[in-house]
Amino acid sequence: MLERIIGVFKLDRRVFAEVEQDESATTQAAIVVAIVAALSVVGTILQMLINLVRGGEMELGATLLSVIVTFVVTFVNWAIWAGVTYLIGTKLFKGTATMGEMLRVIGFAYAPRMLSIIPCIGGVIGAIWSLIASYLAVKEGLDLDDTGTIVTIVVGWLVTIVIGVILGMLGVGGAMGLGAISGLLGG
């Protein structure tokens, strides 16, 4: 699994071909997402501590809510992103994949988001790196050409944001919608 994560950081397309075919890698993809979620939580806490040191305030309830939302939203975004990408790629562009394949390749494409442990800049760098990895994941996972891959990613990203905001407004609370946007943008 570590070799695969390193391969994703290196943007090695072969890793996505391997993960796509390896049905046992779904658990590994979920572990990658869990690591990303945990490191995002640590990064969020570190940022709050930095703010505290600078004279800000830190409320325990808000911190706990932020930790929970960060962790949950990471998993929700993974499932939504994989599902939306799967539907767009297979229905609109006639790509070939299963939902399991998309969960695996998208889950591993999350690996660069491990950088979100670094307050401020880590989330941004990780999100950009992850977006590039997502391009390789979607291209490999759905067997699409460059145009189909780019359109699938852009439309999928926009739809995922809208779904996150709607879910947030429907009762999970505004934090879920804002968390979805933040998660997709690297926070």
Residue 178: the pLDDT is: 47
How many Cα atoms occupy the beta-carbon half-sphere of 126 within 13 Å? 26
CA atoms within 13 A on the CB side of 55: 0
Token pair recorded at residue 130: 């992850």
Mean pLDDT score, 47-59? 76
The residue ranking higher by pLDDT, 173 or 135, is 135
Question: What is the number of other CB atoms lying within 10 angstroms of the CB of residue 34?
Answer: 16
Please tell me the pTM assigned to this model.
0.82
Mean pLDDT computed over 121-125:
87
Given a contact cutoff of 8 angstroms between Cβ atoms, the answer to whether 178 and 132 are in contact is no
Average pLDDT (155-175) is: 72
Whether 55 has a pLDDT exceeding 90, the answer reads no
Name the DSSP letter for residue 111: G
- Output the pLDDT for position 170: 65
